[in-house]
Amino acid sequence: MTDVGATVGDLGLPGAPPAPAGSRPEQRRWHRRPPTGPHPALAAAGRMAARIGGPALAVTYLSLLVLLPLAALATNAFSGGWGAFWRAITQPEAVAALELTLGISAAVAAVNSVAGLAIAWVLVRDDFRGKTLVSAVIDLPFALPTIVAGLTLLALYGPNSPFHVDLAGTRLGIGVALAFVTLPFCVRSVQPVLAELDAETEEAASSLGASRRQVMGRVILPSLLPAVLAGAGLAFARAVGEYGSIVLISGNIPFKTEVASSWIFSLSQSDALPAASAVSVVLVTIALFVLIVIGWARRRFNVPETV
């Protein structure tokens, strides 16, 4: 699409009437005033509006839905001044909850990146009966209300576990809950990239004498790495804020299994909204930092952003 004007004209879309046959090579039809179409200035303004309007709409929408609430959150967090903010985020229970949350979220993102890659691989490269169903099932953690997920996990991996696996009140239990809710991110980030991967490159590598392992390590994985990282970033960001699926299986014991979101909820219930906002600001800032680092890493691997 180098000559936009010609393309629009060829498609016969309103704005540029079809040109008479034969005049095509000589005339630049876009600049000829059409008898019924809009004035060129108007058309140009329209294009300009589309060019500016798109971003403007996006920014407005983003501001109303994301930036404004985040700004309000930050304002609330600092409403008691720096001292109160600092006290809220350095309080031992808050520190313990933040450390626990960030540690488990990072571990879960790492584990799910590997597992997600494997699942995506199977879904793209292998054919088996029920593949469509498996593919659909992967997205279910998105649809399931997280509190129901929490109840289900407690029934499965709690004291009455049919498998005699009691993870209630343990950090491993929190990890399992987080792995459950974040798996779709890790699979869905990798899957389309893997599907688009050019099979010819692999064949070329093989025909040039690369072993299966070399193809994997030098051709496939490097192309997938940005997508895997993107999935890991999303999974991490989702995990640090997760509440519903964890709150039952964790037992919510301060300093042991109390996650940041739960501590924040407690603060909000105790009329300590500035403190709750302060701890949230820390969570959001760390998540933002991680997402920025991941974005930088993806660019560094010099692979176009496909996801």
Partner 1 sequence: MYTHTKSVTPVGQPRRPRRFRRGVAAAGALALSGLAFSALPARAHSGGTVNLLAYSTPKPAYSVLATDFAKTKGGAGVTVSPSFGPSGTQATSVVDGLPADVVNFSLEPDLAKLVKGGLVSSSWDKGPTKGMVTDSIVSFVVRPGNPKHITTWADLVKAGVGVITPNVFSSGSAKWNIMAAYGAEIAQGKTPAQAQAYLSQLLHNAVAQPSSASAALQTFLSGQGDVLLDYEDDALYAKSKGEPVDIITPPQTILIQNPIAVTKTASPAAKAFLAYLLSPAGQTVWGQQGYRPVLPSVAAKFKFPQPKTLFTIDHLGGWTSVNTKFFDPQTGIVAKVEQSLGVSTASG
Q: How far apart are CA 180 and CA 185, in angstroms?
A: 10
- Contact between 238 and 290 under an 8 Å Cβ cutoff? The reply is no
**Considering the complex, what minimum distance in angstroms separates the CB of residue 154 from partner 1?**
5
* DSSP code, position 11: T
Q: Within a 10 A sphere around the Cβ of 224, how many other Cβ atoms? A: 21
**Considering the complex, what minimum distance in angstroms separates the CB of residue 269 from partner 1?**
4
Q: Find the binding residues for partner 1 in span 142-181 (CB under 8 A).
A: 151, 154-155, 158-160, 168-169
* Among 165, 135, 136, CA closest to 153: 165
**Considering the complex, what minimum distance in angstroms separates the CB of residue 88 from partner 1?**
7
Question: What distances in angstroms separate CA 70 from CA 60, 83, 128, 264, 282, one per listed residue?
Answer: 14, 21, 46, 16, 12
Measure the CA dihedral 280/284/290/295, to 10°. 170
**Based on CB atoms, which residue is closest to partner 1, 220 or 272?**
272
* Among 212, 65, 191, CA closest to 118: 191
Which one among 76, 135, 146, 266 touches partner 1, defined by CB under 8 A? Answer: 266
**Based on CB atoms, which residue is closest to partner 1, 122 or 155?**
155
**Considering the complex, what minimum distance in angstroms separates the CB of residue 133 from partner 1?**
30
Q: Find the binding residues for partner 1 in span 88-147 (CB under 8 A).
A: 88, 91-93, 96
Looking at 57-65, 135-143, 203-211, 249-257, which segment touches partner 1 (CB under 8 A)?
249-257
**Considering the complex, what minimum distance in angstroms separates the CB of residue 272 from partner 1?**
5
Q: What is the 3-state secondary structure (H, E, C) of 30-70?
A: HHCCCCCCCCHHHHHHHHHHHHHHHHHHHHHHHHHHHHHHH
**Based on CB atoms, which residue is closest to partner 1, 167 or 230?**
167
**Based on CB atoms, which residue is closest to partner 1, 181 or 186?**
181
Under the binding rule (CB under 8 A), the answer on residue 81 touching partner 1 is: no
Residues that bind partner 1 (CB under 8 A): 87-88, 91-93, 96, 151, 154-155, 158-160, 168-169, 247-248, 251-256, 258, 262, 265-272, 275
